[in-house]
Amino acid sequence: MIETLIDDDRREGVGRAHLGHSSSRPPRLWTASLAILSALLSACSHDAADKGPLVTVQAVSAEKTTMQHTVVAEAVLFPLRQAALTPKISAPVKAFYVTRGSRVHQGQLLATLENSDLEASKEENKGAYEQAQAAYETATAATLPEELQKAKLDEQAAKKLRDAQEKIYHSREELFQQGALPRKELDQAGVDLLNARNQYDIAQKHLEVLTSIGRQQQMKSAAGELQAAKGRYLASEAQLSYSEIRSPIDGYVTERPLYPGEMAAAGAPLITVMDLSRVIAKAHIPQPEAAVLQRGDQATLKVPGEDTPVDGKVTVVSPALDPNSTTVEVWVEAVNFKQRLKPGTSVQLTMLAQTVNDAIAVPDSAVLTTPDGSTSVMLIGADGRAHQQAVQTGFHQDDQVLILGGIQPGARVITVGAYGLPDNTRVKVEAPPASGKSTPATGAQ
Q: In this structure, are residues 67 and 359 in contact, taking their beta carbons and an 8 Å threshold?
A: yes
Q: Report pLDDT for 282.
A: 95
Using DSSP's 3-state secondary structure scheme, residue 227 falls into: helix
For the whole model, what pTM was predicted?
0.58
For the cut 60, the answer to whether the pLDDT of residue 46 exceeds it is no
Please choose, from the candidates 358, 343, 337, 340, the residue with its C-alpha nearest in 3D space to the C-alpha of residue 403: 358
Domain ranges of the chain: 1-38, 55-67+356-429, 72-76+274-355, 87-115+243-264, 116-241
Q: Report pLDDT for 206.
A: 79
The mean pLDDT of 77-95, rounded to a whole number, is 94
The mean pLDDT of 169-182, rounded to a whole number, is 83
240-259 pLDDT, tens digit each: 999 999 999 999 999 999 99
Assess if CATH 3.40.50.10240 describes domain 72-76+274-355.
no
Q: Report pLDDT for 344.
A: 93
The mean pLDDT of 188-205, rounded to a whole number, is 87
Phi, psi dihedral angles at 425 (to 5 degrees): -85, 140
Centre a 10 Å sphere on the Cβ of residue 359 and count the other Cβ atoms it contains. Answer: 20
Please choose, from the candidates 273, 335, 342, the residue with its C-alpha nearest in 3D space to the C-alpha of residue 305: 342
For the cut 50, the answer to whether the pLDDT of residue 438 exceeds it is no
Enter the CATH code of domain 87-115+243-264. 2.40.50.100
Please choose, from the candidates 346, 357, 361, the residue with its C-alpha nearest in 3D space to the C-alpha of residue 407: 361
User: In angstroms, rounded to a whole number, what is the distance separating the alpha carbons of residues 418 and 294?
Assistant: 38
User: In angstroms, rounded to a whole number, what is the distance separating the alpha carbons of residues 310 and 288?
Assistant: 25
- Please tell me which residue, 299 or 398, carries the higher pLDDT value: 299
User: Which of the four pLDDT bands, split at 50, 70 and 90, describes residue 213?
Assistant: low
415-435 pLDDT, tens digit each: 888 887 888 888 888 877 654
In the CATH scheme, what architecture does the domain 55-67+356-429 have? Beta Barrel (2.40)
For the cut 80, the answer to whether the pLDDT of residue 217 exceeds it is no
User: Which of the four pLDDT bands, split at 50, 70 and 90, describes residue 361?
Assistant: confident
The rounded percent of the chain whose pLDDT value lies above 70 is 81
Q: Report pLDDT for 23.
A: 43
Q: In this structure, are residues 157 and 177 in contact, taking their beta carbons and an 8 Å threshold?
A: no
Q: Report pLDDT for 60.
A: 86
Q: Report pLDDT for 259.
A: 93
User: In angstroms, rounded to a whole number, what is the distance separating the alpha carbons of residues 213 and 176?
Assistant: 46
For the cut 50, the answer to whether the pLDDT of residue 49 exceeds it is no
User: In angstroms, rounded to a whole number, what is the distance separating the alpha carbons of residues 118 and 244?
Assistant: 12
Angstrom distances, CA of residue 98 to CA of 241, 244, 293: 18, 13, 42
Q: Report pLDDT for 145.
A: 60
Tell me what the pLDDT averaged over the chain comes to: 81
The mean pLDDT of 50-79, rounded to a whole number, is 84
User: In angstroms, rounded to a whole number, what is the distance separating the alpha carbons of residues 187 and 350?
Assistant: 115
User: In angstroms, rounded to a whole number, what is the distance separating the alpha carbons of residues 440 and 442?
Assistant: 7
In this structure, of 48-62, 138-152, 380-394, the range with the lowest mean pLDDT score is: 138-152
The mean pLDDT of 89-116, rounded to a whole number, is 94
Q: Which residues contact 17 (CB under 8 A, 6 or more apart)?
A: none
